[in-house]
Amino acid sequence: MNYNERKFNMDIATVCGLREAVIADFIRGLQVTSDETTYRHGYFWVKCTQKTITVHIPFLTEDMVRHSVNKLVEKGIMKVGVFNDDKFDHTYWYTFTAYGNELLDDSRCFD
């Protein structure tokens, strides 16, 4: 898959929407490749700014990302936390719930 292509999970798109499915796939990819990960409270978390998401998914604004992440949290697919050592660093950490992992691990993912 090249830079101009995005994939998404059909199950998450059905539950939340296409934007949310693309963001969920991006966050899942970060969990696998990022150095900014930690294991807390029984989950693997990855640190990422909303601005970083818009750089990698340029057709989304920061407001769209914020709204979509909130929707993923409301639907029980994702969790958001703040685990930064610096009290001025408000960057969010993301992980998937058991339900989110179940949806993402399903083979209904399309390029």
* pTM of structure: 0.86
Flag whether pLDDT at 106 surpasses 80. no
SS3 38: strand
- The 10s digit of each residue's pLDDT in 40-72 is 888 999 999 999 999 999 999 999 999 999 999
- The 10s digit of each residue's pLDDT in 67-78 is 999 999 999 999
12, 24 in Cβ contact below 8 A? yes
